[in-house]
Structure 1
């Protein structure tokens, strides 16, 4: 599936199998998201040599991408958003949804629970809004904290499972992690 807008073209490629590229313009930018899920990287190499096409490969799992492929790419790492910026994003999003919170602290609470991700911040906002509507509660800090705890989101946006995993990792000697390989 391809979406095209001017020089920008987004192509959905299969995880396995051949690539069926749509007709590309003379010059263009091709965006491939979740590249770490792709399995036949060798199929991409000939396309990377085309000087008229640029490719943007996106992933949140850099370590899952093979080294020969990575050496052909330039890496840009984006840092997580700071809480202050996320709170602004949640505030703007809440205005577009016509359901605003009672205080700046409420937006900060949602931002802190989003692990630096605007997408997760919006998801948390939507879930909080639904729960507050369901319980008929006002959007104040105490009620937002109650909802976050009710859905299993605690300090810094971590779930109970996250905390159990962190406790488990604390028990493992650091030296035993040296020989772990990702496959």
Structure 2
């Protein structure tokens, strides 16, 4: 696994061993970031530039690290698995991202209150667990999602998901067994 774009392009990332974490493939990650930085999503400029991002279900931290590599100002990594947290911290240290990264060891379904809301959120829950909808609700209730924020959700290709009220789907792509769906948070208040 490697960083596919930005200032850290080509740098390798460690991934947790075992089956508890399933990193987003390099191809799907590159496609996601192309969607974010080109075309209609980026018609007013690169939304990553100076953004505050959240990598939920962070695992290795690949999505948040990719965002930092491509211009995000700050990234929060929400993860509860002890082994994944150790790998995530090693990846951040190896890449010298400590000053721009905040690791939050917590369950995404009961996150701590956000200090400030995030502009872009990456959610990659374990497939077919039904965790996406409660994660959307929990993050909004805890103030993690800024009005107008973009939310990237990776699910299994054939997994059912209906976004809660206040989220508008703006894009959807399939990559092998994965489905990447991009939403915009339209609610006035989280």
TM norm structure 2: 0.23
Give the structure-1-normalised TM-score: 0.24
Higher helix share: 1
Q: Which has the larger radius of gyration?
A: 1
Higher-strand-fraction structure = 2
